[in-house]
Structure 1
């Protein structure tokens, strides 16, 4: 059953001494001061390290609801398109990745912007390492990575009250340096959560995709695991609780219910609801035990315990669900080892190395799938090669290498 959903609603802007916030602030966060309308804001970074300026001049198809004016980067439309229940408009500019001259473990941002009351600006970064991209982190107070990264990508997120004034961003300067490492994340986190169907065909996702009939992607209630348009940098493996069907799907939207609930992360990292157990979505706690008065971060009464939304193709074809259900979700970017990029799909997952074997599910196009090892099987002619190689993703899950566009994160051994 399709229900009204909340994707992204607000972004927090901070300085080292002063935080800016929009009017919609979750109950678990303090409410800091807001500057006067049009007051110039400069967020300063500490000296030292490699510095560069984010290119705000190029707005293209992987950007969402932003435009470049003579004054700077602004929202294109200060309204919540297609979502009458939303209280804010939002936009996002994604810059090209920057190769660092030397690996770094910390990136800080200095934003120069005019921010009216109620509007927000935030610079977020992620880093590339051998196992893939890290999660997105706010950089205005310093994003620290658990291992050195060799490339950094920046995105600038703007919000404004629906119909209200938008911020104008004149510049974003980044500084990359070394910081004390934090504890490495536990690889391959998997939790059982409640899944609901997205529907919403024809509407835009948080990364700018127009939802298609029988589409294949997922939504999580935090931007930290949001993939850029037409990528699977953040991919989930969603399986029925019996394990009979699975789909590997890119995360292309934000929801359900909350937008700052990265519940798969430990308390030290989790953005909000830090007193909840790791792996327990706030919506589930609100619905089942009255947490936060039974409401989400926007004060709405939570009507189901959903921790993931599934697009119609993932819901119906990948998992063959007929109604909302509990599922087992692996947040694959928290794992390690070789990854394969599904270049054409949805791709059938077979129980063995031949098309004569039964299917166990699907791997969506752009999904980044873990590859344990490979075996020799039936020869398949695909869009990238003709090969007898079949990649094992998990026990009893095989895909033809003919449909894998790239492999990264290490060499793949023979099974």
Structure 2
């Protein structure tokens, strides 16, 4: 698992956190009003990673850092993913109050995301006044992240209380962001990703160097479309790991939103700047010498089968959660993405299981019997290619019109 740097002062015994990740009004002097609820820290289940609950609170199950090989950092990390909260009324700001016992060398973060008609927002750290979304959301999900750099040392989180309310509107992000970055192959079969997935041979997912776009295990809440620079092959794949090199480099965002390295151009990974231009002394956030300019890692199936790459290469990546419009959830895959509405058309790539693919419209084509229905409907994706609707488990974000 690829780990982040500590963020809360280690000397604090009781940490109360609340911070703005997007520009927000100055904090009010009075206690914040709005809908309030507490996160259930005792409910540790299959979608949580390396945490356990005791009478003292939530803590790391295994607090032993492992240096590993690049891009993995020498930090032990765990995450508790809380159940989504449906709000009584839409809100665009979430505050968090954390009560925790934090030993030297350990840290704890609260992160939230919001649901709107187009899907989930990115994860936002709540480490100042508030996390402010660029549009009202109807559901809020929180996760609690613990980490340590010292063997055997951990934080004990006793309570996480959240408040959702409405702040002044902020500018919406540019939709459909696409950048050309350098891709490397993950490998690491048998190891565990940042969201708790065990990597299998010929796996289909990607890693990005920021938890802001990390999907919970077995979901495609954050999906990328990664294509060869010629456009001849593409794969839609969920983001299930954090890396390469850095863990707080959401380089696809504007500098006002980007967590670190705000002086770099939007779309340029810090590792690329370090490798090509000696930025930050040629080192990543952990102080390691950057050995390649990678801005995305590809699992073996995505690398070999989806894109049919033979070596590390430059690719074009679309960060699909920054776009808009209807999305289809691929319920069974990897699914062939074709040049037309029939299995007679050439395969142009793959859509991984759980990937959320952008659907422009639908056409009538060859009848296909799939796991969800038998249908002649084919969905035209935003890239002008097609997938059979027989393999799409759900559609959200709007109504899909005929082409």
What's the TM-score, normalizing by structure 2? 0.94
Residues in 2 aligned to 1:394 and 1:149: alpha-carbon distance in whole angstroms: 25
After the TM superposition, which segments of 4 or more aligned residues of structure 1 sit over 6 Å from their partners?
Answer: none
User: What SS does the corresponding residue of 2:305 show, helix, strand or coil?
Assistant: helix
Residues in 2 aligned to 1:211 and 1:393: alpha-carbon distance in whole angstroms: 28
Which residue of structure 2 lines up, in the alignment, with residue 172 of structure 1?
160
Unaligned stretches of 5+ residues in structure 1: 1-5, 14-19, 21-33
Residues in 1 aligned to 2:359 and 2:67: alpha-carbon distance in whole angstroms: 39
Residues in 2 aligned to 1:310 and 1:88: alpha-carbon distance in whole angstroms: 22
Contact in 1 for aligned 2:105/2:150 (Cα 8 Å): no
The 3 A distance-change label for structure 1 pair 67 and 395 is: closer
Which residue of structure 2 lines up, in the alignment, with residue 260 of structure 1?
248
Which residue of structure 2 lines up, in the alignment, with residue 41 of structure 1?
15
Superposition deviation, residue 184 in structure 1 = 0.5
Contact in 1 for aligned 2:181/2:315 (Cα 8 Å): yes
* 1:309-388 pair list within 5 angstroms: 309-388=297-376
Superposition deviation, residue 82 in structure 1 = 8.2
Contact in 1 for aligned 2:66/2:74 (Cα 8 Å): no
Which residue of structure 1 lines up, in the alignment, with residue 95 of structure 2?
108
User: What SS does the corresponding residue of 1:42 show, helix, strand or coil?
Assistant: coil
* 1:203-218 pair list within 5 angstroms: 203-218=191-206
Contact in 1 for aligned 2:3/2:74 (Cα 8 Å): no
The 3 A distance-change label for structure 1 pair 81 and 303 is: closer
Query: Higher mean Cα deviation, 179-188 or 156-165?
Result: 156-165
2:105 equivalent to 1:129: no
The 3 A distance-change label for structure 1 pair 244 and 50 is: same
Residues in 2 aligned to 1:324 and 1:216: alpha-carbon distance in whole angstroms: 16
* 1:130-149 pair list within 5 angstroms: 130-141=117-128, 142-149=130-137
Superposition deviation, residue 118 in structure 1 = 1.2
Contact in 2 for aligned 1:132/1:333 (Cα 8 Å): yes
Residues in 2 aligned to 1:181 and 1:325: alpha-carbon distance in whole angstroms: 40
Unaligned stretches of 5+ residues in structure 2: 19-26
Match of 2:39 among 54, 59, 62: 54
User: What SS does the corresponding residue of 1:313 show, helix, strand or coil?
Assistant: helix
Residues in 2 aligned to 1:297 and 1:240: alpha-carbon distance in whole angstroms: 28
Contact in 2 for aligned 1:10/1:90 (Cα 8 Å): no
Q: Deviations over 1:25-52 (max 9, x none)?
A: xxxxxxxxx425xx23334694211100
User: What SS does the corresponding residue of 2:264 show, helix, strand or coil?
Assistant: coil
Q: Deviations over 1:285-312 (max 9, x none)?
A: 0111111111111111111100000000
Residues in 2 aligned to 1:11 and 1:222: alpha-carbon distance in whole angstroms: 14
Superposition deviation, residue 57 in structure 1 = 1.1
Residues in 1 aligned to 2:395 and 2:256: alpha-carbon distance in whole angstroms: 32
Residues in 2 aligned to 1:64 and 1:232: alpha-carbon distance in whole angstroms: 18
Superposition deviation, residue 81 in structure 1 = 5.6
Superposition deviation, residue 8 in structure 1 = 1.8
2:184 equivalent to 1:196: yes
Contact in 1 for aligned 2:2/2:242 (Cα 8 Å): yes
Contact in 1 for aligned 2:67/2:74 (Cα 8 Å): no
Contact in 2 for aligned 1:87/1:162 (Cα 8 Å): no
Q: How many residues align?
A: 389
Query: Higher mean Cα deviation, 74-83 or 206-215?
Result: 74-83
Superposition deviation, residue 139 in structure 1 = 1.7
What's the TM-score, normalizing by structure 1? 0.92
The RMSD of aligned alpha carbons is: 1.4
Contact in 1 for aligned 2:225/2:237 (Cα 8 Å): yes
Match of 1:118 among 75, 80, 105: 105
Superposition deviation, residue 162 in structure 1 = 3.9
Which residue of structure 1 lines up, in the alignment, with residue 379 of structure 2?
391
2:5 equivalent to 1:10: yes
Contact in 2 for aligned 1:350/1:396 (Cα 8 Å): no
Superposition deviation, residue 394 in structure 1 = 3.0
Superposition deviation, residue 88 in structure 1 = 1.6
Residues in 2 aligned to 1:297 and 1:162: alpha-carbon distance in whole angstroms: 18
Superposition deviation, residue 7 in structure 1 = 1.7
Contact in 2 for aligned 1:11/1:157 (Cα 8 Å): no
Residues in 2 aligned to 1:41 and 1:329: alpha-carbon distance in whole angstroms: 38
The 3 A distance-change label for structure 1 pair 347 and 286 is: same
